[in-house]
Chains A and B, each alone.
Chain A
Amino acid sequence: MHYKLFLRQKGVGAFTKVSATSKVATATQAAKGATGFADDAIRLTTSSKSLAPSRTYSIFDGSGQLYKFGVTDANLVRYGQSLRQAGPGAYGKYSSIMPKNQAHIMEKYLRSLHYNSTGQYALPGTKIPYPVNFNTGLPIIP
């Protein structure tokens, strides 16, 4: 929606969009056909199909600033590497064990919640997933 508004404001009358994205269509349908809270909810998605036992984690650097969110194996090997990458004094928190695809969705949720709470887009130790808008499920481009 943001883009369409911008293009109108800038008067790009000759420019047209070729096709709608499926995610936008899904969000619109959910809002129109709402029968309850569950129907209204935008469900975050991931391309991961893996069910491997995993955890979501957050790492903070030696000054207590958020360094990254991530997904690790259940035995925390990846988590341990990330902790070392974040430098002296780094510490972290991790979730209980869940299927890997759910851990990725949780990672996206935490990343988005952090952006929506702080306004800080970039993080020192992570790029993807980008924060998404909870109303549309699409990447935020403020």
Chain B
Amino acid sequence: MNIDRTLFWFKDGDEMLIVLNEDFFGLGTLLNRLLNDRYDGTKIKFINLDFATEKTYELHPNLPKEDAYYYGGHLRYYGVFNKEQFSSLSWTERQKYVWDKAHQYLCKSAQSIKNKKLLEAAEYAYKKGIEANLNPDYRMVETDINVSGQQLKASVWVNFKEDGMYSKLTLEKEEEIVFEKDIDKTKKGVEFFLEMYKGIKLVNGNLVITGHKDVDYLPLKIPLDKVVL
């Protein structure tokens, strides 16, 4: 990936609004994935898009309000938001608000740092996100397997829900899900959860989900004879 991570940061004065940061972690992840679909410019390690109240900028006049800053692969946009107004919106309206603002912030940042490829990627990601109804769920790992002559796609998904992030195994045959099973759950914003699954293998008639050595249930073996196809 040419962009390692994109996140939204909410602040009111000196208070970091951690719950909002976590609520919009999925949307940031979606934006990062879509940007990477198109972006092939200079590597960017972190894109941080700030949604801070006027109070933050009053307390810290050194921050470049409504402007971008870039150095050594770290890009930040210092945006403004009205917390009370934002709180009055529905969840769907909030998502759209953040998506629209993020698009504006990325476009302004790209122009400011003269990165045309980032501008193109921002336009692409904005449209693709809207087309996908801002659904941040995605396949963290996937592979094609052949079981008893049937060609199947095995995937481990992350599903972003109101109460946390869930991982789920699915088997699909011709784009139809024929088997699914919850694997794990964690709170929103835990980045390690998105990177701990490494692959899916077929070993001696078992489906084996491999992953980070420090996760005590991985590798996870799922006997295929338990899977009703």
Contacts and interface: CB of A to CB of B under 8 A. Distances in A.
A87 B76 contact: yes
A142 B190 contact: yes
A3 B217 contact: yes
21 contacts: A1-B216, A4-B216, A15-B183, A15-B217, A17-B220, A18-B219, A64-B60, A65-B11, A84-B72, A85-B72, A85-B73, A87-B74, A87-B76, A88-B62, A118-B18, A120-B16, A120-B18, A122-B25, A124-B7, A139-B196, A140-B192
A86 B69 CA distance: 9
B153 interface: no
Contact of A17 (B14, B52, B216, B223): B216
Contact of A21 (B16, B73, B213): B213
B208 interface: yes
Contacts of B69: 87-88
A35 interface: no
A1 B217 CA distance: 9
A23 B212 CA distance: 12
Contacts of A88: 62-64, 69
Contacts of B208: 18
A20 interface: yes
Contact of B46 (A20, A119, A125): A125
Contact of B221 (A16, A65, A141): A16
A63 interface: yes
Interface of B: 4-5, 7, 9, 11, 14, 16, 18, 21-22, 25, 46, 48, 52, 56, 59-60, 62-64, 69, 71-74, 76, 181-187, 189-193, 196, 208, 212-223, 226
Nearest to B21: A122
Contacts of B193: 141
A142 B193 CA distance: 10
A14 interface: yes
Nearest to B212: A139
A52 interface: no
A117 to B, nearest CB: 12
A134 interface: no
Contacts of A63: 11, 14, 52, 56, 59-60, 63
Contacts of B219: 17-19
A87 B48 CA distance: 11
A119 B222 contact: no
Contacts of B213: 21
Contacts of A127: 4-5, 191
Residue with the highest number of chain B CB atoms closer than 10 Å, among A17, A81, A120, A141: A141
